[in-house]
Amino acid sequence: MLTLHSVCLRLSGAFHFLRSTPMLRVVASLSLLVVSVVPLCHAADPTIQTGETIYRKGVLISGEALEGKRDDGATSMGADAACINCHQRSGLGSKEGRISIPPITGRYLFHARASSVENLDLPYVEGIRPNREPYTDESLAKAIREGIDSEGKPLNYLMPRYQLNDADMAALIGHLKHLDQRRLPGVDDTVLHFATIITPDADPIKAKGMLDVIEHYFAVKNTFPIGATPPVRSSRKMMYMVNRHWQLHIWRLNGPATGWQMQLEKHLAQEPVLAVVSGIGGANWAPVHAFCEKSTIPCLFPNVEAPPAEADRDFYSLYFSKGVLLEAGLIANNLLKQHDENMVTQIRQVYRAGDGGEEGAMALAALLEPHGFKFEAHALAKELPASSVANALNETKSENVLVLWLRPPDISALSQVPDVPSTVFVSGLLGGLEHAPLPPDWRKRIQLTYPFDLPKHRRVGVDFARGWFSISHIPVVDEQVQADTYLACGLLAETLSHMTDTFVREYLIERMQSMIEHRIVTGYYPHLALASGQRFASKGGYIVRFASGEGKDVIKPSEWIRP
């Protein structure tokens, strides 16, 4: 009976044989099978799996918690003691203030001594020590247990000492060696490959606007390479990176969401990429998010209104905002402040079935039902005309809190509703922010969720994007989507310029996390930041009112809210 390990060995051998023969063109399907099985083979190695658990979660083979002790007596346990906290998922280290945490993947630990970084045949990362004596398995075990490096010198006092048995130590060292990626997907000697994804339920006008921006950004970057005059330090490696061509692959999905996973896998097999940049979806982005996590591909700031609820627990996808989920938090925060526990508050929510507003409505109910709020949902079928909104709202009682998760065509139909309830919330993200086509009577009464900086405050940041659109002759069809796409491309360029030629997917995410909070021009957002484990760069918003029944001026009754 064949084991999974033996199957992996046979498939791997077959693949390497076929690579050197013309037969590969004929048996492309077998190649795709090997590509899909090889990650499974790695994951099935029990030593690597165990080492990964120690490294990431601080759990030993026995199931007991990893324990780390420092010379000053400080002790950490379990997840708090895990190596990933300092050396990061990539193993390439980080920088905290003046302290550089070194890379600890096998290539960096066991490299031969070199006189300088320029003479070291390794991609540059901060904290690298080119002239250090190379580690062996034995000296590395001593460093982990006793805090003594390969030259017999004490390690930094921040490095804990771990009393691992031989089996745990072997597993951990095996994982450190496995972290090295010699063949980086989407990277070759002259080109960096990226993809952008468009789902079939994405707004076609917004999708066209997004593509106009990203395609032109790539074209300009390839014409005028960023950082063409590199710094003196490690100039050979810097030039190697900055002169690479950026190749954009557009992955358009079609059909029902159940088929997207297979389509994405096919795209990836045919066009391996380093990362997914921007992209745009409709009400359902979850299959794309799941694909990126499963395939370990960074998905950088897609234009989506309802990110998956599990995004906070994942790693490879970064978002500017939680979208309608954030709006639900803003409304819940507002209602809880004035909630009388002795009274039952009835909330009526109106949205289109299958649209992003449905996710917002569900999120709001989940937040408030535990506090005694009662909900009534009115889901309008997609095919019903906008006049159906008026029919739904005429059933609303004056004492109800009304929450509208509607888009501009449906909001326009509010003119057919004579009575405005006393408390009304409208999704600014779906409704068009200050451009929402609200009738005057409604404009005076509603409270608008606003998950961005206010217009007068964001003017300077957005002017950079507007000026670039104008110079580039890009028509502005949706300013917020296009400004976010421009911002995503800029963040990618800045991050890559600091990565030299260390094109590791996890490292790309980690570098972006550390750099984003220093960005001055942030478009629609007052501030962006991503601490470790955070996937949403903008954390709050406002609830605003219109200054009058006419015009687009909005006022904020309160400061920035972080639900």
pLDDT band at 181 (very low <50, low <70, confident <90, very high): confident
Give me the pLDDT at residue 71, please: 85
- Alpha-helix residue ranges (DSSP H) falling in 446-524: 455-471, 479-497, 505-515
Query: What are the tens digits of pLDDT across the range 457-497?
Result: 998 889 999 999 999 999 999 999 999 999 999 999 999 98
pLDDT tier, 154 (very low <50, low <70, confident <90, very high otherwise): very high
Check residue 233 and give its pLDDT. 39
Q: Is 481 helix (H, G, I), strand (E, B) or coil?
A: helix
Predicted confidence at residue 34, as pLDDT, reads 41
Higher-pLDDT residue of 279 and 98 is 279
**β-pairing, 67-69 with 75-77?**
antiparallel
At residue 117, the pLDDT reads: 64
Where are the chain's structural domains? 4-44, 47-178, 191-321+455-523, 325-450+543-555
pLDDT given at position 236: 39
pLDDT at residue 267 tops 80: yes
Confidence of residue 263 (pLDDT cuts 50, 70, 90): very high
How far apart, in whole angstroms, are the C-alpha atoms of residue 35 and residue 267?
13
CATH of domain 325-450+543-555: 3.40.50.2300
191-321+455-523 shares its CATH topology with 325-450+543-555: yes
Buried b (16+ CB within 10 A) or exposed e, 116-126: ebeebebbbbb
Pick the more confident residue, 197 or 423: 197
What percentage of the chain carries pLDDT values higher than 90? 66
pTM of the model: 0.87
Distance in angstroms (rounded) separating the CA atoms of residues 84 and 510: 11
191-321+455-523: CATH topology: Rossmann fold (3.40.50)
Q: Checking DSSP bridges between strand 542-546 and strand 554-555, what pairing results, if any?
A: antiparallel
Which residues neighbour 333 within 8 Å (Cβ) at sequence distance 6 or greater? 561, 563
